[in-house]
Amino acid sequence: MEYDFLIERSEKPVYKGNLKEFNASFNDRNQVCGDQVEIFLKIEDGIIKDAKFDGKGCLISMASSDLLLEQVIGKSIDEVLKLDDEFIRKLVKVPLGVNRIKCATLPLKVLKRAVIDYVSKNKN
Ligand code: FES
């Protein structure tokens, strides 16, 4: 089934938890359902060195969070800021309608806000 790998990722996430050391984070919710995602990042020299997420939400939002963090560790913050909804669609691999796309992109929105906050706090 096309949803099997999403079920697996939402039930056994690899990147869920807290980072002992992080220097960027953001927390937001889907305004429609109230589901919530928080992301913690360790950024060094403009690179995402480590990442974890926490939160409560549907299968799509939790699986998308886990899959997204797997992809962004090792990427530069500039690369992360260029990621778009299309990237998430490819990652999640199942058809996403108007509501489900909001579930799937919630972690990307949170991730980008964490990076934007980090950049604004660390600019000279
Ligand atoms: Fe709430 Fe998916 S139903 S994020």
Q: What is the pLDDT of residues 19-41, one digit of tens each?
A: 999 999 999 999 999 999 999 99
CA distance 31 to 43: 28
Give the span between the Cα atoms of 79 and 17, in whole angstroms.
24
State which of 35, 62, 109 you would mutate to test the pocket of ligand 1, scoring each by most atoms of that ligand within 8 A of its C-beta: 35
Residue 1 has pLDDT above 80, yes or no: no
Q: Is residue 54 part of a domain?
A: yes
What pLDDT score does 124 carry? Answer: 66
Model pLDDT for residues 79-105, shown as the tens digit of each residue: 999 999 999 999 999 999 999 999 999
Decide: 15 and 70 in contact? Cβ < 8 Å: yes
pLDDT at 74: 98
Look up the CATH number of the domain holding residue 68.
3.90.1010.10
Amino acid 2: pLDDT: 74
Domain assignment present for 10: yes
For residues 53 and 16, is the Cβ–Cβ distance under 8 A? yes
Residue 76 has what pLDDT? 98
63 in contact with ligand 1, CB cutoff 6 A: no
Range of the domain at 43: 4-116
CB atoms within 10 A of CB 92: 24
State the total domains in the chain.
Answer: 1
C-beta of residue 35 within 8 angstroms of C-beta of residue 109: no
Note whether residue 124 is domain-resident: no
**Residue 43 is assigned to a structural domain of this protein:** yes
Answer for the pair 81, 116: CB distance below 8 angstroms, yes or no.
yes
Neighbours of 122 (CB within 10 A): 12
* Centroid of ligand 1 to alpha carbon of 99 (angstroms): 8
In this prediction the pTM is 0.96
Phi–psi pair at 55, nearest 5 degrees: 150, -175
Whose alpha carbon is nearest atom 3 of ligand 1? 58
Residue 34 belongs to some domain of the structure: yes
Whether pLDDT at 3 is above 90: no
Amino acid making up residue 98: V
Instruction: Express each pLDDT in 103-120 by its tens digit.
Output: 999 999 999 999 999 999
